[in-house]
Structure 1
Amino acid sequence: MAIAQATIVPLGTGSTSVSKYVAGCHQILKDEKRIKYELTPMATVFEGDLDVVLEVIRKMHEIPFKNGAERVLTTINIDDRRDKEASMSQKLNSVKEKLD
């Protein structure tokens, strides 16, 4: 299972505010049952099959264009660990254990 983070930034919108574009991207996720995701202040984190995660990010990448952006910059980080099962919560718990 892959864990990925994506930041989708619309450019050429005439405004520094991007929240309406983020909300539009997250409309894609409302009905998406094949992956887990979490919106953070700076990005969205995904957990699931890598092919599905990339498919969803691709759909989200198109939304700012549909909403008037002239250019879209999407940055993706992928943690694809195959030696053992990984999850968003497992990664957080591993760090928390070391803090105690």
Structure 2
Amino acid sequence: MSFLVEFAMFPTDKGESVSNYVSRIIKMIDSLGIPYKLTPMGTVFEANTMEEALEVINNAYKQLEPDCNRIYTAIKMDIRKGAQNRMEGKIKSVEKKLNKKINI
């Protein structure tokens, strides 16, 4: 099963630039060894179970909670039985139909 998750999480009480805080979350995700992609508006990762997906979100929150008083979070999930490696597969499917490589 594939749980494709796109989320954004950052403090809203730390000024205009929050990259230092987002970096904490990315470092944590990277340490888990799960596939992910950082985008300008959020992060996409793939998990095998709902529990695993929610654990990543919970751990992301724990990176910010100690010194952030207000945290914004948006989460989208696409859950599909019998599928894997959809982060790459979905892009390749569109590229095949366009007959060209997409810059991401």
TM over 0.5: yes
> Structure 1 residues 15-24 or 48-57, which shifts more?
48-57
Report what 2:3 is aligned to.
2
Report what 1:46 is aligned to.
45
- Trace 1:1-100 onto structure 2 (pairs within 5 A): 1-13=2-14, 15-33=15-33, 35-49=34-48, 50-66=50-66, 68-82=67-81, 84-86=82-84, 87-100=86-99
Q: d(CA) in 1 for partners of 2:58 and 2:41? A: 18
Moved over 6 A (4+): none
Q: d(CA) in 2 for partners of 1:54 and 1:18? A: 23
Taking structure 1 as the reference length, the TM-score comes to 0.86
Counterpart of 2:97 in structure 1: which amino acid?
A: K
Counterpart of 1:31 in structure 2: which amino acid?
A: S
* Unpaired runs of at least 5, structure 2: 100-104
Superposition RMSD in Å: 1.4
Q: d(CA) in 1 for partners of 2:47 and 2:27? A: 18
Q: d(CA) in 2 for partners of 1:11 and 1:74? A: 10
Q: Give the drift of 1:80.
A: 0.2
Q: d(CA) in 1 for partners of 2:38 and 2:53? A: 14
Q: d(CA) in 2 for partners of 1:90 and 1:38? A: 14
CA deviation vs aligned residue, 1:24-60 (integer Å, no higher than 9, x gap): 1122123203x21111111110112232121011110
Counterpart of 1:37 in structure 2: which amino acid?
A: Y
* Unpaired runs of at least 5, structure 1: none
